[in-house]
Amino acid sequence: MTSFLKPENALKRAEELINVGQKQDALQTLHDLITSKRYRAWQKTLERIMFKYVELCVDMRKGRFAKDGLIQYRIICQQVNVSSLEEVIKHFMHLSTEKAEQARSQAQELEEALDVDDLEADKRPEDLMLSYVSGEKGKDRSDRELVTPWFKFLWETYRTVLEILRNNSKLEALYAMTAHRAFQFCKQYKRTTEFRRLCEIIRNHLANLNKYRDQRDRPDLSAPESLQLYLDTRFEQLKIATELELWQEAFRSVEDIHGLMCMVKKTPKPSLMTKDLQLIASSVVLAALSVPPHDRTHGASHLELEHEKERNLRMANLIGFNLETKPDSREMLSRSSLLAELASKGVMSCVSQEVKDIYYLLEHEFLPSDLALKVQPLLNKISKLGGKFTFASSVPEVQFSQYVPALEKLATLRLLQQVSNVYQTMKIDNLAGLIPFFDFSVVEKISVDAVKQKFLSMKVDHMKNVVIFCKTSLEADGLKDHLASFAEQLNKARQMICPPDRKQSKLGALLPTLSEVVAKEHKRLLARKSIIEKRKEEQERQLLEMEREEENKKLRLQKVNDEAEKIRIAAESDARRLKRIQKEMEEKEKEEAQHLLEEAKRIIAGKGKKHPPIETANLSRQALLQLTLMQQQKERQDMEKKLQKLAKTMDHLERAKREEAAPLIEAAYQQRLVEERILHEREQQLEVELSKQRHAGDLNEKERLSRMIGNKEIYQEKVVSHRQAEINRLNREREERITRILQSRKQEREKMRKLKYFLQVEEERRQKLREAEEAQKREEAERKKKEQLERQAKLDEIAEKQRQREREIEEKAEREKREALLGRPTEPALRPYEPPARQLESGAAPAAAAAATSGAGKYVPKFRRGGADATRAPPPEADRWGNSSSKPDGDRWDRNTSFGSGGGSRSSSTWSSSRVSRDRQ
């Protein structure tokens, strides 16, 4: 771990590593700085470091690093500047969302560029074979490679931010905003599994918030602002659940809202709790009525799916792949069961009167002649109804006009169905007059679809201008595809009688393609080699990851040891707190037991019944609760007995009514049959006459229109040629667009290749410059070191010579001193200086006289040796060495001065130079 004196240095170091392409080292550097205990005081530089840190985490998709860094930064700025943490988290989510959107847009561009008619022009045979074997299209592969990793990282980002902000009262608004953005992510990309996990995460956060009430920064749900944020989040959750059609999760969201209101015991805003039952019920009933009355056996793309299955089966047979087809056993909810469930749930009692009237007209009334005429004014009224929902719904508003086209089709089908039960043939003009919604061409299309789905049985004869309603199927099921069915049965019988020899056929099929097998085996071995290399690289990467994990474990272990002491200190306070809570719970249980006892007494007194007195001291809270439950159960049983008796009475009354009404209904029915038979015969005769007249008119019309056949063919040829030219032009434009896209991508790849080469050359040049500078610095250091050594050697040599000279001088002085003390004459060869002859002569006489008077062997002091100075008093007695000095050198140098002025000067200069040399050393 590298330590820095200032955080700015770490930021500069990270930017340098990013510039040379070492983003992982830069991220590790910033992570070490953020998690270090040295920088615990917030400053503006740490905010800039966090911005750079989250940018690196997003670029490299390091969610775990981002979470650790944000937790540490929360600790740093929680009490000082919490808005800085908010800005960093917003920047983190913005970067993650932007990267996910870029990946999705790249995948879409790639899909559009490859959307060409000729697949073999852009795809290799291996890609086609892979797509058929794996069942994976190009879009799926591009999503897995580009989009899925970024979506996973974005989802991890939302979870990390919610985990960091879950117990922070100062960032409740940011927590709510993050939850809303996560909900929109699940809605936009249809992530139902992640939505369920997100709801569970938010639910656990609220449960932990109520469980640990002694946290310092815990949000206060009793505050109106906090309660509003939590309720808005739950209502948004309910809205997204309904849009994703996750009804179980929507029900749980409603329970969460109710539980939150019960928890805080406050009523939220009225705008959140209103329910527009009439608008909801009317919309649901109209949507159920809009479902076609004939059950569709397959979806709209059933034919395309069948073609896809057939193509996959042929490809599987070619490559020898076993493809098992499984029947689609899914069941769809029928229209009749849906309407029956709505009626049983009491929804019809909440709808508007117009919707109720149209429901009974289309589902329960039999009016073949004037059904459409009665439905039309109701549809006009319904088209004007609608409005906005005042609660959390997947649709902010609903307009009933969107159901009008489907209801018009339903009315048309009901009229055709009822007419088919009354008539066998009917004129087209009469049928078109009964249906005011559409032209007959549209009615004919609707009837064709109904006949295809076996809802109606009818034929349209344009030659006779009639519609024929037949009771039997237009085509016998046994005659359809009879040759194909017969061939399939014969093939199965042949296989049962003479089963094929699979081993021989398989070997015979493989022998002609032996060369192809060898080529495929060679390709497989090459692919296996590349896979082995990739596995080696993956193993090396895993080893590096394991080493980093070990380092992280060491850091975590150190943190655990640091926190162990804090936990031990907090354990004692927790024990005291638990004891206090337990005492409060016991008191609360006593109060609840007393309340239940009073409630039981009040219920018994309200019934007017006598009951033996209850001993308060002998009953616990559980016994009182059991007593209250038994009383409620007894009341419920009495009510059920009364309801059973009332139901039995109503059954007898209804049976008597029906027995009296049965003969009257039968008589009315017989009379109606006679009247309708007479009416039918009269209308049949009238229809025959009208058919004859219409047939004659049709013959005349045919003769008149036969003259325009030539003009029709000319116009048809002109239209066909014009459309063919338009198709050719569109094909050319598409080919040119694809060519431009491919060319631009090729240029972009060439540009990136040149840029990479330039960066590589520039990096090599910088590396050479750095190496040359380092070599020059090393040579300069070696030269300076060599000069220093030579200078030191010269100084040592000079000092050694100086010390040698001083030793000689000291030895000479010591010798002279000994000779002076012993009274011996100084040897001429050892004297450093010879005085002049004149001076010697002037001083020789007094010395000789003194020697003569005192005796030859007697010592003569220095002050008595001279002639003129012989009478002077001796100098004051000094210490042993003379001149009051502690060193013997002073007396020595004083004696040397007696040899003469020249000798004294020389000795003084020698002593001074030796003293200076010693001081330097």
pLDDT of 691: 93
Q: Is the pLDDT of residue 542 over 90?
A: no
- Which of 211, 204, 161 shows the shortest CA–CA distance to 182? 161
pLDDT of 324: 53
Are the beta carbons of 264 and 222 closer than 8 angstroms?
yes
pTM for the full model? 0.36
> Phi/psi of residue 38, each to 5°?
-75, -30
Q: Give the mean pLDDT of 259-283.
A: 68
Are the beta carbons of 100 and 185 closer than 8 angstroms?
no
Same domain, 248 and 280: no
pLDDT of 470: 77
Please return the burial class of 805, using the count of CB atoms within 10 Å of its CB with bins 0-12, 13-18 and 19+.
middle
pLDDT of 718: 92
Cα distance between residue 12 and residue 52, in whole Å: 11
Same domain, 352 and 464: yes
Those residues with Cβ within 8 angstroms of residue 291's Cβ, 6 or more apart along the chain or in another chain: 335, 338
Cα distance between residue 530 and residue 536, in whole Å: 10
Q: 257 falls in which pLDDT band (50, 70, 90)?
A: confident
Q: Is the pLDDT of residue 142 over 90?
A: no
Q: Is the pLDDT of residue 712 over 80?
A: yes
Whether residue 704 lies inside any domain: the answer is no
Same domain, 287 and 407: yes
Whether residue 344 lies inside any domain: the answer is yes
Whether residue 417 lies inside any domain: the answer is yes
pLDDT of 481: 59
Final residue in a domain of this structure, among 441, 473, 505: 473
Same domain, 68 and 162: yes
- Which of 295, 184, 317, 196 shows the shortest CA–CA distance to 247? 196
Same domain, 254 and 280: no
Tell me 391's DSSP state: S
What average pLDDT is seen over the chain? Answer: 76
Whether residue 619 lies inside any domain: the answer is no
Whether residue 30 lies inside any domain: the answer is yes
pLDDT of 726: 94
Cα distance between residue 287 and residue 480, in whole Å: 37
pLDDT of 372: 84
Q: Is the pLDDT of residue 740 over 90?
A: yes
Are the beta carbons of 123 and 166 closer than 8 angstroms?
no
Measured CA to CA in angstroms, residue 276 lies from 292, 389, 761 at distances of 27, 7, 72
pLDDT of 717: 92
Final residue in a domain of this structure, among 239, 263, 287: 263
Query: Which helix (H) or strand (E) is 748 found in, with range?
Result: helix 709-822
- Relative orientation angle of helices 23-35 and 7-19, to the nearest 10 degrees: 170
Give the residue numbers spanning the domain of 302. Answer: 274-322+332-473
Final residue in a domain of this structure, among 237, 263, 289: 263
Q: Transcribe 333-371 into DSSP letters.
A: PPHHHHHHHHHHTTGGGTS-HHHHHHHHHHHT---TTTH
User: What is the number of other CB atoms lying within 10 angstroms of the CB of residue 798?
Assistant: 12
Same domain, 245 and 315: no
Over residues 21-78, the pLDDT tens digits come to 888 888 888 888 888 777 777 778 888 888 888 888 888 888 888 888 888 888 888 7
Q: Give the mean pLDDT of 106-110.
A: 72
Which of 143-147, 410-414, 757-761, 813-817 is the most confident on average?
757-761
Whether residue 129 lies inside any domain: the answer is no
Same domain, 177 and 207: yes
* Domain count across the chain: 2
Whether residue 736 lies inside any domain: the answer is no
Same domain, 280 and 400: yes
Q: 283 falls in which pLDDT band (50, 70, 90)?
A: confident
pLDDT of 335: 83
Cα distance between residue 702 and residue 858, in whole Å: 186
Same domain, 42 and 166: yes
Q: 316 falls in which pLDDT band (50, 70, 90)?
A: low
Q: Transcribe 149-167 into DSSP letters.
A: HHHHHHHHHHHHHHHHHTT
Same domain, 337 and 437: yes
Whether residue 648 lies inside any domain: the answer is no
Are the beta carbons of 199 and 235 closer than 8 angstroms?
no
| Percent of the chain at pLDDT exceeding 90 | 15
Over residues 788-802, the pLDDT tens digits come to 999 999 999 999 999
Same domain, 157 and 205: yes
Q: Is the pLDDT of residue 113 over 80?
A: no
pLDDT of 130: 46
Same domain, 187 and 286: no
Cα distance between residue 917 and residue 807, in whole Å: 13
Report residue 241 as tokens: 């659940």
Those residues with Cβ within 8 angstroms of residue 862's Cβ, 6 or more apart along the chain or in another chain: 898
When comparing pLDDT for 306 and 403, which is higher? 403
pLDDT of 500: 67
